[in-house]
Amino acid sequence: MRGFLASFPSSIGAPSLVASSIGVTCAAALALPMALPAAAAPSTPSATAVPFPGGAISASAEPAVAGSTRSLPLVPLSPDRVLGTAPEQGLYRADIERFSLVGVVWDDPDTELHGRVQVRTRSAATGRWSGWQDVETHNADHGADPGTAERTSRRVHGATAPLWVGDSDGVDVRVRADTASARGSSSGGPRAVLPSGLRLELVDPGDGEPPEDAPVDAPPRTGLYTDAAIAASATNTDITHIGATEIPALGQWDTERELGLLRGSVGAKPYIGPRPRIVTRRGWGADESLRESGFVYTKKVKAAFVHHTASGNRYTCSQAPSVIRSIYRYHVKSMGWRDIGYNFLIDKCGTIYEGRAGGVTKAVQGAHTLGFNANSMGIAVIGSFGVSKPPGAAVTAIAKLTAWKLGLYGANPRGKTYLTSGGGNLYPKGRNVRLNVISGHRDGFATECPGKSLYARLGTARANAARYQGR
């Protein structure tokens, strides 16, 4: 225990670094469920077999999690399909491979799409076409901070928000430029333009969730158990074992005791809420081969930014893992990020899911609030809440999650804190900004996110989180 505590900072946060994949050395943690691997474990050779509760699993023989992304270039629409005089591009395809989530991407991440994106899809189950649905075009406010390796990667693209459409086998999309926000002029009038390289992304999430009757430590049905999956799971061995599909809830006393073990002391009674149940990445079927290897950490978690995914509300709670796998694939394969952008996600039933890999207790740097990803965490409620009211279960889950996670770092959910801007459209790089410890995305960036209705419930979340902490 002494060696474990010595490797863990008293504030719980890991230093700002990129940790390499962990490999077979993590297997030793199985004998010590409370042991925490160092955040910066060195790279190790690829494993041939990995000890696992219930038997050895070959790290090289496991099949990859099913799923796919199809990227189709958009083309100028024929005259009979154009709705006005502004430039329009689109695509119509029937009888294509199944998909469940759509989005539109383009070449330059710094170029905004001023216009309207609409899509309709054909149900694979009924063969019927949906009505036209709007796709949220303003997605540049999510992402890694300017100047970071993740943000400056040549793989990063501009993109709309993803839209969940369910199991579909046909698609019709149209993108129309907005003359009201046109830049420049042509023949004395406004000239509307669309970003270059517009492409339609069709995402199939695959079938990555474990069977409903499987024990918590059983391998997923289509499980990916490679070195990358072992490394991601091992970052949570401070509070669970490798291979866990969920981190169970703890009562108040056990949560306080766990915090004392993590910090290396059992001093004064901490302000921390009971640990909520969290579905791990393995639990929702993350294909760990998609993301970049290693994990990026900041020093601490001083604030939580609340988001909505803007992916629509037409999903069931049983479909939430599929929605998350789709968003994960869209963020990585289509938008070019190193991993899913959010640190946690919450579905309409209030289930909490681990987001970006690196450990649920740790200060993992995400790509959720452009300019304020350092020393913060991003929580996304799955859905769109500009008009629709967020479910009470989701608001309660925000309060429970923040009461626990912010409590690990001594933060008061009702308080204020200072974060240094990494650059954005509200605050220039380097400015020290005073923010609510629980803020909405729009507090750090000029955006509609997390939607008017969800933003209005943050006061309730703050009050309840403080109450869960015993303040």
Confidence of residue 119 (pLDDT cuts 50, 70, 90): very high
Q: What pLDDT does residue 146 have?
A: 80
Q: How far apart are CA 70 and CA 435, in angstroms?
A: 40
Q: What pLDDT does residue 83 have?
A: 67
Residues 441 and 379 in one domain: yes
Give the up-direction half-sphere exposure of residue 127: CA atoms within 13 A in the CB hemisphere: 0
Instruction: Tell whether the model's pLDDT for residue 41 goes beyond 80.
Output: no
Q: How far apart are CA 346 and CA 333, in angstroms?
A: 22
Residues 321 and 442 in one domain: yes
Count of the separate structural domains present in the chain? 2
Residues 143 and 258 in one domain: no
Which tokens sit at 55? 């038997």
Measured from the Cβ of residue 85, the count of other Cβ atoms closer than 10 Å reads 10
Q: What is the mean pLDDT of residues 47-59?
A: 33
Helix (H, G, I), strand (E, B) or coil at 258: helix
The DSSP 8-state label assigned to residue 152 in this structure reads S
Residues 255 and 391 in one domain: yes
Domain containing 197 equals 68-204
Residues 443 and 357 in one domain: yes
Q: What is the mean pLDDT of residues 48-73?
A: 53
Predicted TM-score (pTM) of this structure: 0.84
Instruction: Tell whether the model's pLDDT for residue 441 goes beyond 80.
Output: yes
Residues 231 and 282 in one domain: yes
Residues 163 and 231 in one domain: no
Concatenating the DSSP letter of every residue in 286-322 gives: --TTSSPSSEEE-S---EEEEEE--S-S---GGGHHH
Of 84-88, 103-107, 307-311, 333-337, the least confident: 84-88
Q: What pLDDT does residue 6 have?
A: 34
Q: What pLDDT does residue 40 have?
A: 35
Helical spans, DSSP H, in 206-305: 227-234, 252-263, 281-284
Q: Is residue 458 included in any domain, yes or no? A: yes
Q: What pLDDT does residue 265 have?
A: 62
Q: How far apart are CA 101 and CA 205, in angstroms?
A: 8
Of 56-60, 94-98, 130-134, 410-414, the least confident: 56-60
Q: Is residue 288 included in any domain, yes or no? A: yes
Q: How far apart are CA 431 and CA 221, in angstroms?
A: 48
Confidence of residue 181 (pLDDT cuts 50, 70, 90): low
